[in-house]
Amino acid sequence: MTTSWGRASWTDGPWYDGAVIDAVAFDLDGVLVDSEPTWTAVRREFVLAHGGRWPEGADRRMMGMATMEWAAYLHDELGVALPVDSIAEQVVAAMATRVADGPPLLPGAVAAVRRTATRWPLGLASSSPSELIERTLVAAGLRESFRVTLSTEEVGAGKPAPDVYLEVARRLGVRPERSAAVEDSTNGLRAARAAGMRVVAVPTDSYPPDPDDLALADAVISSLDELTEAVVDPSLA
Catalytic residues: 27, 29
Strands 23-26 and 179-183: parallel
In whole angstroms, give the CA distance from residue 76 to residue 87.
11
Residue (of 97, 88, 159, 146) closest to 120 by Cα position: 146
- If phi > 0 it is left, if psi is from -120 to 50 it is alpha, else beta; for residue 18 that is left
Query: Using an 8 Å Cβ cutoff, are 224 and 111 in contact?
Result: yes
Beta pairing class for 122-126 and 198-201: unpaired
Residues 6+ apart with CB under 8 A from 224: 31, 32, 106, 107, 108, 109, 111, 112, 182, 202
Contact 114, 52 (CB under 8 A): no
